[in-house]
Structure 1
Amino acid sequence: MGLPNLRMGIIFLIQMQVGILENSTLLLTFIISMLSLHNHRLTDQILNQLVLANSLVLFSKGIPQTMATLGWKCFLDDTECKLVFYLHRVGRGVSLSATCLLSSFQAIKLRSSFSRWMELGVKSPKCVGFGCSFSWILNLLINIFIPMKVTGPLNEKNISLEKLKDYGCCSGIMAEKFTITLYALVYFSIDFICLGLMVWSSGSMVFVLHRHKQRIQHIHSNRLAPKTSHETRAIHTILILVSSYVFFYLLSSILTLCVSLIAKPSQWLVDSSVLVASCFPTFSPFVLIRNDKRVSKSLFACWFRKPN
């Protein structure tokens, strides 16, 4: 194993360890908060889906790529390669949908111009649960063709080498231009709709936050300070999540497009594509942990809990 591969392997290893630790901490915190009645928030249900999707991305593609980069020989067979690529696509799609749902939820909650049934609907746990369930079902169905186009590295009995694209431990069957165009149209149209909603909700929240700050400039009552601080902190968290997702999504899409268009992409390009795709699942838990006081309280309680 050369020095560049060793460096990339160490970067992958650090990224996976940090990402898995952060997402595990958040998942445990949200489960505890959902079980307790006084500390539960409606957005915890959406954040749970985001954490699960991030974990799925890290486990499905990050860990195998880390092991392959560090020098392990190909350890995935044909079925495992299909499952890894399929779960990675599903996790990536649910992560996008959960971020979009979270930002739209907060924007609708802040905007007073919406009709009353929208205000009641967004406050309903059933409405939020339906949105999360629909996101999983949609991504499970839209990526159902992925296992048909992915194969193991040694499964080349009936397929010519010219029709295979090397992804390191696994290979991809190069589809026809019509199939690629049709899938890209459906896949990216859904992504663009979610990104458009995220940009709209972010702009709406920035407008509401700016107007809110202008209104409270003339208010000097101390009793409004905690509520204002909480609202501002929640909006800032979502804005950071949305902006970081858009940035990593665009960069990941460019690298993925390069890997798809190049007949035999270099190992560095494949590794970089996986590395960037795992950046948001690693970065977003840090933002949530930093801005959610319940996490620090839970960790503090577990650390200093006296044994019976």
Structure 2
Amino acid sequence: MATRDLAVGVIFLVQTLVGILGNFYLLYHYLFFSLTGSRLRSTDPILKHMTVANLLVILSKGIPQTMAALGLKDFLGALGCKLVFCAHKVGRGVSMGTTCLLSVFQAVTISPRGSWWAGLKDKAPRYLGTTSILCWFLNMSLNLIVPVFVTERSGGTNVTRTRDYGYCHAVTHYKIIETPYLILASSHDVLCVGLMVWASGSMVCTLHRHRQRVRHLHRSSVGDPRHPPETRATQSILVLVSTFALLCTLSVAFQTCMTISKNPSTWLVVTSVLLAACFPTASPYILMRHDSRVLGLCFPRK
């Protein structure tokens, strides 16, 4: 085994293990909160769906890519390749969709009573579970065509018409089907990222206006006036939005390059896989960092 392949395999393995542990740990806590009926939040249904989708992305992409990098090339049959690719596409779409839904819901929640969103404040929490399930259904419908493009590496397919992912082949000669699918998938990604950036920007503006109105209260309080709660919340939103938007934009760009390229290079495939799993891997730790309930269970007060 080449040193480069071993290094790539170790990187994939570490990323996969970190992502699986973080998401399983977070999912356990959300299920614990649901079963015990204590300290539930309106955003918990979205976060549970997001965590499951993140796990699906990591399991369907990280594990096969790790095994392929470590030398196991033809361990999936034709059916296995189709299931793995379809699961990854659906998980990735649901992860992006639920993150977008979370941002929009938060924007509605903190919007002023006199705003256009005021009428949705009381209604929105009742539809979060249904909307999350609808997100799964829409992404499964969009990616029903994915198995047509995927086959096993040992299936005797003409290599001039396939892209090699290390453990499966993606057929590239169905342009009449592939082009509309690429347009729909890209439109979904652009719409989700755009809505999330817009919703997060709206939250930042709302928090900034609130800070201006209560500035005199912070000046008279005993706390540090330079770092009021609104400022810390705004900074957290900016970090989350910037991270998500950057990783998703890079991932979409590399995925598009791989789709367009007839024979993508190894570094393009490796970088694309790493980027695709970055947000699902990092998101549980970001959520745990900002969820006092999880931190309270991890580090209970004496």
Q: Normalising to structure 2: TM-score of the pair?
A: 0.90
Please show how residues 95-244 of structure 1 align to structure 2 within 5 Å.
Answer: 95-112=95-112, 113-124=115-126, 127-156=127-156, 159-220=157-218, 229=229, 236-244=235-243
Give per-residue Cα distances to partners, 1:250-291, cap 9 Å, x unaligned: 111222222222222222221211111110011111111111
The change in CA–CA distance for 1:36 and 1:240 in structure 2 (over 3 A counts) is farther
- Counterpart amino acid of residue 288 in structure 1: L
Shift of 1:21: 0.9
- Please state if 1:279 is matched with 2:278: yes
Q: Tell me how far apart the structure 2 counterparts of residues 190 and 143 of structure 1 sit (CA, whole Å).
A: 12
Give per-residue Cα distances to partners, 1:223-251, cap 9 Å, x unaligned: 999xx84x766665554333222111111
Q: In the alignment, what sits opposite 1:80? A: 80
Q: Tell me how far apart the structure 1 counterparts of residues 38 and 257 of structure 2 sit (CA, whole Å).
A: 49
Shift of 1:115: 4.9
Shift of 1:207: 0.2
RMSD between aligned residues: 2.2
Decide whether the 8 Å contact of 1:102 with 1:238 is kept in 2: no
Please show how residues 27-66 of structure 1 align to structure 2 within 5 Å.
Answer: 27-66=27-66
Decide whether the 8 Å contact of 1:83 with 1:147 is kept in 2: yes
Decide whether the 8 Å contact of 1:86 with 1:146 is kept in 2: yes
The change in CA–CA distance for 1:136 and 1:233 in structure 2 (over 3 A counts) is farther
Shift of 1:54: 0.6
Decide whether the 8 Å contact of 2:204 with 2:237 is kept in 1: no
Q: Tell me how far apart the structure 1 counterparts of residues 57 and 83 of structure 2 sit (CA, whole Å).
A: 12
Q: Tell me how far apart the structure 2 counterparts of residues 187 and 2 of structure 1 sit (CA, whole Å).
A: 36
Q: Tell me how far apart the structure 2 counterparts of residues 50 and 3 of structure 1 sit (CA, whole Å).
A: 36
- Please state if 1:299 is matched with 2:294: no
Q: Tell me how far apart the structure 1 counterparts of residues 160 and 89 of structure 2 sit (CA, whole Å).
A: 25
- Counterpart amino acid of residue 50 in structure 2: L
- Counterpart amino acid of residue 203 in structure 1: G
- Counterpart amino acid of residue 55 in structure 2: S
Q: Normalising to structure 1: TM-score of the pair?
A: 0.89
Q: Tell me how far apart the structure 1 counterparts of residues 197 and 36 of structure 2 sit (CA, whole Å).
A: 33
